[in-house]
Amino acid sequence: MAANAQHGVIGLPVKDKARKLTERILKNIERVNEDSFERLIKLILSTVGTKKIFIVGAGRSGLVGRSLANRLMHVGFNVYVVGETVTPALKRGDLLIAISGSGETKYPVSIAEEAKKLGAIVVAITSYPDSTLGKIADHKVIVGGRTQPAEDRDYILRQLMGQHEPLTPMGTLFELSTSVLCDALIAELTERMGKTEEDLRSRHASIE
């Protein structure tokens, strides 16, 4: 409790907590390198008509990845979430986007290693450019998260041990910031490809 009180979080109404969290997300996003994001946009656009996009992440990062895959599908990209039964073979020149705040979570790291061996272009969205995932990647988008690296960077172990930070537990700041950036990415891709809201709606699931 004392650690939380030091951060001025305990006792705040939910709306004030949300406001503080929103402020942190905005500051976090402002620190993202614009050129690195432009490079990601160009890599995604380069897949149009010929290549596939694969997305991988674990835990909450995996949920962010699924959301991104869903939106990329709406825009018209050939995109898959790694691990789904309908995911096809990855081929040379395909694009893998791996999302991991720590860059050390075993599942996305192992997928990135295998994708690299198969000749894919690997993009890491992470907080740590010198992490294992960062070193594997051909391109990195650095999104801040924890102010200090977690004592144990593996996501599953952190969950089991209950390691968290006040206000933004278990990497929340990274995932929320990445989620907002991914929505902005979709808006930019939609504009550059000349898509309309009706185009996106026509690809929305019709048998939910």
Q: Could you tell me the residue ranges of all domains in the chain?
A: 26-190
Q: Determine what percent of the chain is predicted with pLDDT higher than 90.
A: 65
161 has pLDDT over 50: no
Question: Is the pLDDT confidence value at 149 over 50?
Answer: no
Decide which of 8 and 92 is more confident: 92
Whose tokens are 């994708």? That residue is 115
**Residue matched to tokens 């048998």:** 207
Mean pLDDT on 84-97 = 96
C-alpha atoms less than 13 angstroms from C-alpha of 63 in its C-beta half-sphere: 8
Among 41-55, 95-109, 147-161, which is the least confidently predicted range?
147-161
Point out the least confidently predicted range of 21-30, 99-108, 163-172: 163-172
Active-site residue set: 175
Cα–Cα distance for residue pair 36/141, rounded to 1 Å = 6
Angle, nearest 10°, between helix axes 59-75 and 172-192? 10
Give the chain's mean pLDDT. 85
The 3-state DSSP class for residue 122 equals strand
Q: Amino acid identity, residue 2? A: A
CA distance 205 to 200: 10
Choosing among 3.30.230.70, 3.10.50.40, 3.90.1150.10, 3.40.50.10490, the CATH entry for 26-190 is 3.40.50.10490
Helix (H, G, I), strand (E, B) or coil at 58: coil
